[in-house]
Amino acid sequence: MKCTLCDTNLLVMADEYYFICSTCGAYVKDEKYYLERKEEKERYKEHDNNVHDERYQDFTSPITDAILETHSKIIAAITFSVAKCLSIFMSQSKR
């Protein structure tokens, strides 16, 4: 099986269901766990692609939660760094 992002042969399993790509780091579901076409269509029909649809929010939440968690950590790190720099600049300007 090949990475769906960069076409590298997938050799390392991250867990029972996912490979981890040695080139791009993507987690790619083992194709033996892919849904059949009919199952996929039925699953897809459980929601509307509307950001206000709670079923759609639930459907996309694994991805959006991961992005928000990472984004929040990055923003917190930047905020801390900027605050630290401002503190240093302000203490130096008082001299």
Q: What are phi and psi of 8, to 5 degrees?
A: -75, 145
Gap between the Cα atoms of 78 and 45, Å rounded: 40
Only segment of 7-15, 44-52, 54-62, 76-84 that touches Zn ion (CB under 5 A) = 7-15
Does the protein bind Zn ion through residue 75 (CB under 5 A)?
A: no
Give alpha helix (H) positions in the chain: 37-44, 54-93
* Residue 5 near Zn ion by CB under 5 A: yes
Please choose, from the candidates 26, 22, 31, the residue with its C-alpha nearest in 3D space to the C-alpha of residue 1: 31
Residue 10 near Zn ion by CB under 5 A: no
The only residue of 1, 13, 14, 24 in contact with Zn ion, by rule CB under 5 A: 24
Q: Are strands 27-29 and 18-20 parallel, antiparallel or unpaired?
A: antiparallel
Nearer to Zn ion, 8 or 60 (CB): 8
CB of 62 to Zn ion, least distance (A): 19
Closest distance between Zn ion and the C-beta of residue 7, in Å? 7
